[in-house]
Structure formats: C-alpha cells, structure tokens
Chains A and B, each alone.
Chain A
Amino acid sequence: SAVISQKPSRDICQRGTSLTIQCQVDSQVTMMFWYRQQPGQSLTLIATANQGSEATYESGFVIDKFPISRPNLTFSTLTVSNMSPEDSSIYLCSAIGADSYEQYFGPGTRLTVT
C-alpha cells in the first residue's frame, strides 16, 4: 500500500494570492493526480501529474491557474494561482500503486479564500 501526505492540511488565503500544496508518497507509484472536492460534491479530476514533463489537464482546468510539478516518482506540487473565493475547496492528491490497480488518496488540503 501507499501512504500519501499533504502539506498544508488547511490554509486561509487572501484573494489574488497563490498557494502551493505539496504531496509526498511513501513508496514508488506509477501515476499521480490532483483532484478538487467542493462541499457536498464528488471529486473532480484537475490533472494528471507527469514525472518530468507538463501535467495533463482536464477540461476546465488550465496550467496558468493550476501549475503542477512532479520532479520525481513520489513527489508532486499543485499551485492554486491568483485565488478567488470560488477556489475555496478541498484539494486531494492521489496516486496509483505499483500494482497499477489500487488508487490511494491523500488527506486533502482544505483551502479557504477570503
């Protein structure tokens, strides 16, 4: 199994600023992802974090707003740029284990933008 940690666990940010969320996995994984979960809603995939290359974004999400890095197999960052109150959400890091079957989730980062 894989254990995923995220930092920070929560933050309150001002409109117009940016926040970088870190994701660390305790074992090698094949794929890493970033999701957003708004209150009372299901998870929405933001992007697939690709090691050493640009992330693959889902429809409605763009690199300028959500730049993502994945410098190695077990670490990724998501930046929420030029934040607005609409960005208030929980951001979850996820990874598929080396067995390429089980998908694990981090504890999430609760972001509030004022």
Chain B
Amino acid sequence: KNQVEQSPQSLIILEGKNCTLQCNYTVSPFSNLRWYKQDTGRGPVSLTIMTFSENTKSNGRYTATLDADTKQSSLHITASQLSDSASYICVVSGGGADGLTFGKGTHLIIQP
C-alpha cells in the first residue's frame, strides 16, 4: 500500500531559527515528490517538485532534498519567519494526479 509518513506531526520553533521536516514514503512507481505549504483556511501551495533524478531543490528559504534510494525527503526552512507558520504537506506522485499520495502534514508554529 502506498504511504507517505511525515515527522514530526507538529513543531514549534522561535522566529529566526532553522528547522527540518521529514518525509518517508513507500510509493511505487515513483514519478515525483512535492512539498506544499498550507496556511490555515487556505488551499495547499506548491513549494518544490523533485523528480527521481533531482536530489535537492530550493525555493527561497525552503530547500528540499530527496534520496530516492532510501525513499526519504526533507524540507529545510532557513531563518524562519512568522509567516512560515503553516502545515507542510509531502505528496508523492506515482504518475498522474490521481496517483498522488498525501502525507498528513507537519504543523509548524513559529513563535516570536
């Protein structure tokens, strides 16, 4: 069964600090892995998309890594800001949008 596990479930850090969110998956076949940010009351917004051949991708202060061999990904947030408070969802695609497997997300809270 395809699964995407994210950790931690929730995280609280002080503004300005860095943090790393984890995603482990057992999706097969694998097409790409996406990280989304979902603000409260909003739909998910794409941060990064990585295919099998990519092992890192950055989007501003967000850097995602992918190890396709161990089926692990991480999202690193640098110099956190209050606006980073959101849920971060890892999504693995097996090809075609109907083949998406969603993680439950990590709820991140940035405290001043």
What residues of chain A have their CB less than 8 Å away from a CB belonging to chain B?
A: 4, 31, 33, 40-45, 48, 56, 58, 92, 94, 96, 101-108, 110
Given contacts A103-B46, A110-B41, whether A41 and B104 have CB atoms under 8 Å apart is yes
Tell me, in angstroms, the Cα distance from A100 to B63 when the chains sit together: 23
Whether the Cβ atoms of A42 and B46 lie closer than 8 Å is no
Interface membership of chain B positions 41-59, coded 1 if the CB is closer than 8 angstroms to chain A and 0 otherwise: 1111110010000000000
**How many interface residues does chain B have, given as a range?**
10 to 19
8 contacts between A and B (CB under 8 A): A42-B4, A42-B105, A43-B102, A96-B97, A103-B34, A105-B36, A107-B42, A110-B41
**Considering the chains assembled together, what is the distance between the CA atoms of A92 and B44 in angstroms?**
9
Known: A4-B43, A43-B89, A105-B44. 14 other contacts (CB 8 A): A40-B104, A42-B89, A42-B104, A43-B44, A43-B102, A58-B98, A92-B44, A96-B97, A103-B34, A103-B100, A104-B46, A105-B43, A108-B41, A110-B41
